[in-house]
Amino acid sequence: MTLSAIEANEWIRRYHPSPESRAGLVCFPHAGGSAPYFSPVSTALAPSYEVTAVQYPGRQERRHTPCIDDIGELARRSHAALTRAGVVGSGRPVALFGHSMGAVVAFEVARLMEREGGAGPVVLFASGRRAPSRFREDHVHLRDDAGIIEDIRALGGTDSRILQDRELLDLILPTLRSDYRAVERYRRGTDVRIGAPVTVLVGDSDPHTTRQEALAWGDHTSGGCEVHTFPGGHFYLEDQQAAVLRTITENLERLLP
């Protein structure tokens, strides 16, 4: 898949361009999330590492672009945009970080990077998401609006003022439903693997990912897998930002040539 430069630019955000950085880190948001969620990560890691955040369609300035409710298609278009923009395939080492839904999008992008004969990621950071082969019969995307709101309220990570603002909810609920549909329909067998190592990050009270489900990421890599557990729930990384950044940088320092 190829995209024009204009199309590619719609998909990516660089908050602190660092062309001379040692490596790049590409970040993939959670369901309902958007690229600015990773702006603090970019602030913290620049200029040593250049952070690129993927902006999926259907949110913020891309709210008029139809959502994509298929993980594989999200990954293909993300990979095409990152390649067109020179973020991947340029020779500079790249790591991938995805939270929740973003973790499986990142996994599929890693597969595409390796499949196309170029360099794969130096490491995949899979945050707040069970392994691709650990499927649950979740059907949140089939609930009514109140049911979806109940789920995101239980997970935390969403400003309570948004949940009480009907106009804002009307804007974000279609996107949330599409993202939930994409991730709830996604599944992969243990035969689907990447060569890059996987570092899993998970909250110790995350209702969506148990430690056993996190450890199962080891079934999807031949490069080794390690799991880091932090205090907190599904959005543990918001309260544990310093520890998460330390985990990222320590892994990169160890794995980069």
pLDDT average per 10 residues of sequence, the chain (257 residues): 86 94 96 94 96 96 95 97 94 96 98 88 97 86 74 63 61 87 95 97 94 97 97 93 97 93
CATH topology for the 5-255 domain? Rossmann fold (3.40.50)
The whole-number pLDDT of residue 5 equals: 84
Close Cβ partners of 236 (under 8 Å, ≥ 6 residues apart): 128, 201, 202, 203, 204, 206, 230
Structure tokens at 194: 């990447």
- CA 231, 237, 242, 247 dihedral sign is positive
Structure tokens at 151: 């789920």
**Residue pair 212/133 in contact by the 8 Å Cβ criterion:** no
Q: How distant is the alpha carbon of residue 142 from its chain centre?
A: 23
Residue of 195, 169, 53 whose CA lies nearest to 117: 195
Sheet of 225-230, strand order:
12-14, 49-54, 23-28, 94-99, 124-127, 198-203, 225-230
The whole-number pLDDT of residue 187 equals: 93
The whole-number pLDDT of residue 144 equals: 76
Residues recognised as catalytic: 100
